[in-house]
Amino acid sequence: MDFRRTAAEPWFFTGSDTGFYEIEYRNGWEIRQMSRKVIIAGNWKMNKTGSEGRALVEALLKEVASFSESEVDIVVCPPFTTLAQVAPVLAGTKVKLGAQNVHWADNGAFTGEVSAPMLKEAGVEYVIIGHSERRQYFGETDETVNRRLQAALKAALKPIVCIGESLEEREGGRTEAVLRQQIRGGFAGLDAAAMAGVVVAYEPVWAIGTGRTATPEMAEETHAFIRSELAALFGAECAAAVRIQYGGSMKAANARELVAQPDIDGGLIGGAALEAAGFAKLISEALAR
Ligand code: 13P
C-alpha cells in the first residue's frame, strides 16, 4: 500500500517567493522538504564608476533575458556612488540592486557611512553585511554586523550576511568554532521569522580572489554545518528555509558542481561578476545543477 502523495506550497515565514515546501505524507506523517530558490549575487567591490556600472548592467540585462525570475534571484551590488546610475536601468527588471554595506543609524555624525533609508530611497533591495574584507580591513565585528543587520531588517532591506574562516583558522581546525561564533554574534536577537529572510554567504577567506576554490564536498560539509547551527538556534523549519550562498573564486567553470550540493543555494561572486557574458554564463551553469 502506498500512503505517499506530494504537494507544494509557498513557504510561509515571510510570504516571499524564495522557496517551496515539498510536502510528503508517509504513513500519515507530514514530511516537509524545502526547495530553495537559487540566488546569485555579484559583489563588485570597489570596481566600476557610474558610467562603467551602467554599461555593465545594460549588457547584463541582455545576457539574462532568457532566465526566469521564478527560478533564480539575480542581484548586483555596485559601490555606493554607482548605485544612482545603475538603479534606473534595473528598475522593474529581473536584476535586483544591492549595496555593499549599511550603517546601523538612520542618520547622524558618522562620516563616510550610508544608512538604510538612504539605500532604500536609492532603489536598493539587498545589502551585503560583514564581508570579510570589511572585517579584515575596516574593523567590522560580529557586534557591528548584528547592528547593521538589525537596521537592514528594520528598513525591509534583504540582508546578505557574510561569514567565513581564514586559512590559519581552517588549518588550525577552528573552522566550526569560528563560524559558530560569527553566527551566534551576527544573528543575535533575531527571531525565526526574521532569520528566514536573511541570506547567509559562506565565504572562506582563503578562497576569495585567490583562484583557490573550496571543493564542492568541502563547501557542502561547511554549509551543512552552518544549517545545523541555524537549526539549533532558530529551529529546523527556519534552517530549511535560509538560503546559504558560497563565495570565493566561484566562476562559470565550477558554479554547477558547487550549486549542485544540497546545502549550497547560490553564490556571492566577486571577480567573475565584473563582465556581463561571463556572469550570465555562471548563472546558467548554476541553474543547470
Ligand atoms: P571572488 O569571487 O573574486 O573570489 O570574491 C568573492 C567575494 O568576496 C564575493 O563577495
Are the C-beta atoms of residues 219 and 259 closer than 8 Å to each other? no
Q: Is the pLDDT of residue 178 over 70?
A: yes
On the question of pLDDT at 159 being above 80, the answer is yes
pLDDT at 9: 52
Q: How confident is the model at residue 156 (pLDDT cuts 50, 70, 90)?
A: very high
pLDDT greater at residue 212 or residue 193:
193
Phi (first) and psi of residue 199, to 5 degrees: -95, 130
Please state the atom number of ligand 1 nearest to the C-alpha of residue 128.
10
Ligand 1 and 203: CB distance under 6 A: yes
Please give the distance, rounded to the nearest whole angstrom, from the Cα atom of residue 268 to the centre of ligand 1: 7
**Topology, domain 37-287:** TIM Barrel (3.20.20)
Cβ pair 20, 243 in contact under 8 A? no
Task: Of 186, 159, 183, 16, give the one whose Cα is nearest residue 75.
Answer: 159
Say how many Å lie between the first and final Cα of the chain, rounded. 34
Does the reported pTM lie above 0.85?
A: yes
Spatial distance between the Cα atoms of 175 and 153, rounded to a whole number of angstroms: 28
pLDDT in tens, 52-79: 999 999 999 999 999 999 999 999 999 9
What digits encode the pLDDT tens for the residues 131-153? 999 999 999 999 999 999 999 99
Ligand 1 neighbour 271 (Cβ under 6 A): yes
CA–CA separation, 202 vs 204, rounded Å? 6
Cell numbers for 229 = 547551527
Average pLDDT over residues 197-219: 93
Q: Which residues are catalytic?
A: 131, 203
CA distance 104 to 195: 18
